[in-house]
Each structure stands twice: as structure tokens, then as C-alpha cells.
């Protein structure tokens, strides 16, 4: 299914982030900030140890609206009510495991479901992660590939990565956010530049002991790789003109040039 | 060339994370933790406001080894010495911008270079991000696509996303490596080239009616995009020398050419 660009806000509003039994309120605030940077707004908290809390407010920075609107629940079922798909984040590999996907594999699935129905991204408590009850109510487990010697992502960092992948999964619904407008140089402008460059290099004697063709090939390769813009061609040709002009200045040669 | 999976640790050890002028020591600790979860160990700090600091230790959790081994530098040039490719993370869209890539586009490039040479992931200060000097010394800018209404990722969260993408890029390491063996220019060679270029442009009067800084920024951007090789630097500096030499030749000002 292709997700239309216009639907993105609606899809995102169908995604709730559920934090279960979070111990440190600072993590709730930081998670809210991470969510909001990726365009997610629906925060659900299952029995947070401290909430609301000044530390949560501080860490949320400008995302305190998510905290004010957070839905505090007393059970996993309450938090997941109405959802059709639950992706549970885990750091561990389990014995009786569900399907374990990477975020890159899982988030397109989540986005697909979210196009029509509420879905949830579920995060366990900081120290022990998800309970068996929680994984049992999930559709897929999602594990962020991590350093085998140190796999302990901070809770908000895991929220950031998961929401980032979800957001990217949605953006690959066709849009490419190249914001800056550039005007690439046209072929004939490039060619004029190379003629100009070769002329000036000859004038200043650069080719005396070298092989013009080979050198010009190398310079072509360099500037081709740069994918020159029109404005840059103008600058470079300006430099070449200044060079010639400098040499041609009256008084520069005794007899002067016109 | 294909990067073998076994080489991953070596590639990662070629990647340094450079944090410039970090204000909050907690962010340094959290960034270290984020790095280590993704298998990165080389932390460079440019003039951190407080370091070492107990808050950094606390936030690093089990990644305090990265803090102990962190390299504290007093300048951007010191931090980038020896690197051949610098990806600078930015939250802003700029006027005179370098090439701006997403993490997904940029990290395979970084991985490619890191397969053979030291590279850097550069992060600006929390509030104002990168300086023009810092972007000027980078090869690509990397922008995490974010909520237009709230794009402010926490520093450590941005480190987490960037390192995560890098780690994933390496896992998909059937990477499209540039087949040709090239020797990329080192940071310090690039800087010497820009000094030389500016000197010659001043000498030939190119700056007379223009703004040197803005123009130099544009030229930096152009050559950053080209990812100059060592040999190309030699050619370009040869051209600059020929230009000066041509003008300085005895007899140039009196009787014309020999």
C-alpha cells in the first residue's frame, strides 16, 4: 500500500506510544520530546511511578503539551484499547519469542495499519523491560540492533529511534524533502567553463611541463563529481576572468594592454 | 570492494563523534551511552563547558569508559585532524548550504570512507548548533527529518539516531563502495588549500567588489561536495602556484614574456 503524503498527519495521530511502569519521570519527559520531534503526539502511561513530575516537565523541553494530554492508565488492556496492531520494543532475545523484527522491518507494518486504525508502540520499564503479559498482547517484537557488549539504550533514546524509523517509513511514501532550491549548471555552461579554464591555465603557463589533456580530464572529473550549480559556475568563471584581467591590467606589462 | 561483516569493528573504530562546545555535561554522558550502544567508542569534545563532570558520569550509565578516553580539544581543526570525511549534523536549513542529506543517505557514505580512513560525525552546541566555520569544514550536512513544528531533538537523541543509522548502514554492508582506489584529502590539506585559494584570490583582486567570507563559504561548499582527493588538491594548488608564479615572473611587468 502506498501512503499518500496528505495522510501523514492522520497516520501519525493513529499511533500511540505506550510507556509501561516507567521508573524515572525524566525519561517520560525526554520520551515526549523524542515523540514530538517525529510528529507523534499520543502518549499513554501505564502506572508511571511519578507523574506528573517536575523532572518530566524539564526533560520534555517544548513538548509539555504531550505530558498535559497524556493518558494515564492502570492496565495494559486499558492502554491498548482500540488498537489493531501493537509493536513492542525489546532489548532482549527471549525464549518463547514472538517474531522479532528490526525497527526498519517493523515500522512500515505499523504505518500500514495506522493508515486506517489506531496502533501502539509499547515500551517496558527501564530495568526489566516488558513482562510476558505485555509481549503476549503484542503482534510483533521490535529489537534495535545494538552492541552485543552494551545494548542498553536509554528509554527515551529507544523511543527516539523507533519514532524516527516510523517517521521515515512514512516519508518513503514518495516525498523527498530536499528543501533547498538549486539550479544545476547546464551542459553547455559546463563546457564553456572548461574552455575558459583551459585557456587561462594555458595563459598562466600551467601546462608547460604537464599533459593538458590528462589534466583537463582530471579537472572535469572533479567538477563533474561536484555537480556544479549555475551560481558556482559564475563564481568560478569570475575567478578565471579576474586572473586574466589581473594579468592584462594596464601597467602590468610595460606597454599595457587594452 | 565489499566490506566484510568481520571488518565492522574496524570501521567503527575509524568513526569519531565530535561534540562542539557542549553546554550540559549530562548530554555528553548521554551521548557517550548512545554511541556505545551502537558500537562507537571514539568521543572528541571541543571546549566542553563542564568536563569531566559528575552529571556526565551519571548519564553515561555503563559507558563511562568513553568519557575516560574522550579526547578534549581546543579547536575544530584539532578535533578533525587526520579525518578525510566530516558529516555535520544540523537542525537548520541554511542559506549558503552544503549538500544536505538525510541520515539514511549520509551514513553509507560515512561508512564507506571509514572503511579505510578516520571520519567524523560533528555535532554543534545545544542551542545554536553549528557555526559557519564548522559547516565550512564539513563535507556534508546531515539533517534528521523532523516535525516542522518542533524539530528540536535533544543532543544525545540526535547522536543516537545518527549512530543507529551508521550502525545499520554497516550491517547492510554489501555497500556500494566506490570501486576506484582513491586517496581522499585529509582535513588539514583541505584547510591549506583554502588558505592558498583565498590568498591568490586576494592577490588577483577577485575580492575587490565582493564579500570574501560569503564567497569563500560558497567555494568551501563546492569543494566539499566534490570530496577532493589528494591528487586533486595537488593539481588545484599547482594551478594557484602557477597563477602567482606567472604574475611574479621577472620581466612580466617590463618587457612582456620571455
Of residues B104, B147, B243, nearest to A38 (C-beta): B147
Of residues A161, A204, A215, nearest to B235 (C-beta): A215
Assigned domain for B253 exists: no
Quote the CA–CA distance of A231 and B221 in Å, as a whole number: 12
Number of domains into which chain B is organized: 2
Quote the CA–CA distance of B111 and B40 in Å, as a whole number: 12
Given this model, what pLDDT does residue A181 score?
53
One domain, residues A166 and A199: no
Given this model, what pLDDT does residue B179 score?
42
Assigned domain for A139 exists: yes
One domain, residues B22 and B144: yes
Rounded average pLDDT over B111-126? 93
Given this model, what pLDDT does residue B181 score?
61
Q: Which residue has the higher pLDDT, B94 or B216?
A: B216
Residue A151 confidence (pLDDT) above 60: yes
Given this model, what pLDDT does residue B8 score?
61
How many angstroms separate the CA of residue B28 from the nearest CA in chain A?
A: 14
Given this model, what pLDDT does residue A225 score?
74
Quote the CA–CA distance of B3 and B175 in Å, as a whole number: 7
One domain, residues B70 and B154: yes
Given this model, what pLDDT does residue A70 score?
98
One domain, residues B214 and B163: no
Given this model, what pLDDT does residue A222 score?
87
Rounded average pLDDT over A186-214? 85
Boundary (domain end) residue, out of B140, B171, B202: B171
Q: CA nearest B27 in A: which residue?
A: A59
- φ, ψ (nearest 5 deg) of residue B85: -150, 130
Given this model, what pLDDT does residue A174 score?
38
Assigned domain for A102 exists: yes
One domain, residues A162 and A226: no
- φ, ψ (nearest 5 deg) of residue B57: -60, -45
Q: Please report the DSSP string for B48-115 in residue order.
A: -SS-S-HHHHHHHGGGHHHHHT-EEESSHHHHHTT-SEEEEE-SS--SS---EE-HHHHHHHHHHHHT
pLDDT (tens digit per residue) in B48-85: 999 999 999 999 999 999 999 999 999 999 999 999 99
Which candidate in B29, B204, B223 is best for mutational testing of the A interface (most A CBs within 10 A)? B204
Given this model, what pLDDT does residue A97 score?
56
Supply the pTM of this predicted model.
0.80
Q: Which residue has the higher pLDDT, B124 or B95?
A: B124
Residue B246 confidence (pLDDT) above 80: no
Given this model, what pLDDT does residue B7 score?
57
CB contact under 8 A, B246 and A204: yes
One domain, residues A35 and A150: yes
| Average predicted confidence (pLDDT) for chain A | 84
Q: Which residue has the higher pLDDT, A192 or B251?
A: A192
What CATH number should be reported for the domain holding residue B116?
A: 3.40.1280.10
Which of B174-183, B205-214, B237-246 shows the lowest per-residue confidence on average (mean pLDDT)? B174-183
CB contact under 8 A, B243 and A204: yes
CB contact under 8 A, A30 and B228: no
Of residues B156, B215, B239, nearest to A206 (C-beta): B239
Given this model, what pLDDT does residue A255 score?
39
Cis peptide before A53 (omega within 30 of 0): no
Quote the CA–CA distance of B250 and A210 in Å, as a whole number: 22
Rounded to the nearest angstrom, the gap between the alpha carbon of residue B146 and the centroid of all alpha carbons in its chain is 22
Whether the CB-CB separation of A47 and A22 falls below 8 Å is answered with no
Rounded average pLDDT over B133-147? 91
Quote the CA–CA distance of B213 and B219 in Å, as a whole number: 10
Rounded average pLDDT over B247-253? 55
| Average predicted confidence (pLDDT) for chain B | 86
Picking from B134, B229, B250, B197, the residue whose alpha carbon sits closest to that of residue A221 is: B229
Of residues B37, B147, B255, nearest to A150 (C-beta): B37
Which candidate in B27, B126, B154, B230 is best for mutational testing of the A interface (most A CBs within 10 A)? B154
Supply the angle between the helices A155-171 and A103-114 in degrees, to the nearest 10: 60
pLDDT (tens digit per residue) in A105-147: 999 989 888 888 889 999 999 988 888 888 878 888 899 999 9
One domain, residues A191 and A164: no
Picking from A104, A94, A92, A88, the residue whose alpha carbon sits closest to that of residue A141 is: A88
How many angstroms separate the CA of residue A234 from the nearest CA in chain B?
A: 11
pLDDT (tens digit per residue) in B141-191: 999 999 989 998 999 999 999 999 999 998 765 444 444 467 889 999 999
Strand ordering across the sheet containing B71-73: B71-73, B42-46, B15-20, B119-123, B85-89, B140-142, B100-101
How many angstroms separate the CA of residue A223 from the nearest CA in chain B?
A: 7
DSSP state of A229: B
Q: Buried (b) or exposed (e) across A108-131, using 16+ Cβ within 10 A?
A: bbbbebbbeebbbbbbbbbeebbe
Which candidate in A43, A146, A147 is best for mutational testing of the B interface (most B CBs within 10 A)? A147
How many angstroms separate the CA of residue B158 from the nearest CA in chain A?
A: 9
What CATH number should be reported for the domain holding residue A225?
A: 1.10.8.590
Q: What is the domain extent for residue B116?
A: 5-171
Rounded to the nearest angstrom, the gap between the alpha carbon of residue B206 and the centroid of all alpha carbons in its chain is 28
Helix (H, G, I), strand (E, B) or coil at A86: strand
Whether the CB-CB separation of B56 and B75 falls below 8 Å is answered with no
CB contact under 8 A, A232 and B218: yes
One domain, residues A12 and A117: yes
Of residues B156, B228, B253, nearest to A252 (C-beta): B253
Q: Which residue has the higher pLDDT, B37 or A174?
A: B37
Contacts A144 to B, Cβ<8 Å: 164
How many angstroms separate the CA of residue A245 from the nearest CA in chain B?
A: 8
pLDDT (tens digit per residue) in A218-258: 898 788 778 788 899 999 999 999 888 766 655 444 333 33
Assigned domain for A153 exists: yes
Residue B4 confidence (pLDDT) above 60: no
Rounded average pLDDT over A71-95? 87
One domain, residues A209 and A87: no
Given this model, what pLDDT does residue A24 score?
96
Which candidate in A36, A164, A167 is best for mutational testing of the B interface (most B CBs within 10 A)? A164
Q: Which residues pair with B18 in a beta bridge?
A: B44, B122
Assigned domain for B59 exists: yes
Rounded to the nearest angstrom, the gap between the alpha carbon of residue B216 and the centroid of all alpha carbons in its chain is 17
**Half-sphere exposure (Cβ direction) of A124: Cα atoms closer than 13 Å:** 22
Given this model, what pLDDT does residue A98 score?
65
Q: Is the four-CA dihedral B172, A4, A157, B152 of positive or negative sign?
A: positive
Whether the CB-CB separation of B155 and B147 falls below 8 Å is answered with no
| Residues sharing a CB contact under 8 Å with residue B40, sequence separation 6 or more, in sequence order | B12, B15, B17, B163, B166, B167
pLDDT band with cut points at 50, 70 and 90 for residue B91:
confident
Picking from B166, B159, B235, the residue whose alpha carbon sits closest to that of residue B196 is: B235
One domain, residues B197 and B234: yes
Report the complex ipTM: 0.79
Assigned domain for B182 exists: no
Whether the CB-CB separation of A209 and A201 falls below 8 Å is answered with no
Rounded average pLDDT over A56-73? 97
pLDDT band with cut points at 50, 70 and 90 for residue B247:
low
Contacts A226 to B, Cβ<8 Å: 222-223, 225-226
Residue B35 confidence (pLDDT) above 80: yes
Contacts B100 to A, Cβ<8 Å: 178-180
One domain, residues B191 and B166: no
How many angstroms separate the CA of residue A125 from the nearest CA in chain B?
A: 16
Quote the CA–CA distance of A8 and A210 in Å, as a whole number: 58
Assigned domain for A257 exists: no
How many angstroms separate the CA of residue A83 from the nearest CA in chain B?
A: 24
Given this model, what pLDDT does residue A179 score?
37
Which candidate in A226, A241, A254 is best for mutational testing of the B interface (most B CBs within 10 A)? A226
Picking from A20, A37, A50, A217, the residue whose alpha carbon sits closest to that of residue A121 is: A20
Q: What are the distances in angstroms from CA A175 to CA A169, B93, B159?
A: 11, 17, 25
Of residues A232, A247, A254, nearest to B255 (C-beta): A254
One domain, residues A166 and A235: no
Assigned domain for B181 exists: no
Amino acid at each position: 500500500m502506498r501512503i499518500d503524503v496528505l495522510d501523514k498527519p492522520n497516520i501519525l495521530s493513529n499511533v500511540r506510544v505506550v510507556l509501561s511502569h516507567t521508573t524515572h519521570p525524566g525519561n517520560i519527559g525526554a520520551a515526549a520530546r523524542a515523540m514530538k520531534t517525529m510528529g507523534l503526539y499520543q502518549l499513554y502511561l501505564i502506572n508511571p511511578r511519578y507523574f506528573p513530575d517536575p523532572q518530566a516537565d524539564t526533560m520534555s523541553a517544548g513538548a509539555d503539551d504531550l505530558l498535559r494530554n497524556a493518558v494515564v492508565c492502570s492496565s495494559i488492556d486499558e492502554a491498548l484499547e482500540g488498537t489493531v496492531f501493537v509493536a513492542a520494543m525489546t532489548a532482549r532475545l527471549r525464549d518463547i519469542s514472538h517474531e522479532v523484527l528490526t525497527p526498519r522491518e517493523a515500522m512500515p507494518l505499523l504505518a500500514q495499519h495506522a493508515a486506517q486504525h489506531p496502533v501502539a508502540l509499547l515500551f517496558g520499564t527501564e530495568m526489566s523491560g516488558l513482562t510476558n503479559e505485555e509481549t503476549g498482547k503484542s503482534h510483533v517484537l521490535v529489537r534495535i540492533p545494538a552492541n552485543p557488549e552494551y545494548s542498553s539504550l536509554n528509554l527515551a533514546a529507544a523511543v527516539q529511534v523507533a519514532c524516527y524509523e516510523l517517521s521515515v517509513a512514512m516519508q518513503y511514501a514518495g516525498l523527498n524533502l530536499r528543501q533547498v532550491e538549486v539550479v544545476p549548471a547546464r551542459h553547455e555552461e559546463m563546457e564553456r567553463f572548461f574552455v575558459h579554464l583551459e585557456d587561462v591555465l594555458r595563459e598562466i603557463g600551467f601546462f608547460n611541463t604537464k599533459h593538458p589533456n590528462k589534466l583537463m580530464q582530471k579537472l572535469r572529473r572533479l567538477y563533474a563529481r561536484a555537480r556544479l550549480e549555475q551560481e558556482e559556475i559564475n563564481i568560478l568563471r569570475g575567478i578565471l576572468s579576474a586572473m586574466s584581467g589581473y594579468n592584462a591590467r594596464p601597467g602590468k606589462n610595460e606597454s599595457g594592454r587594452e
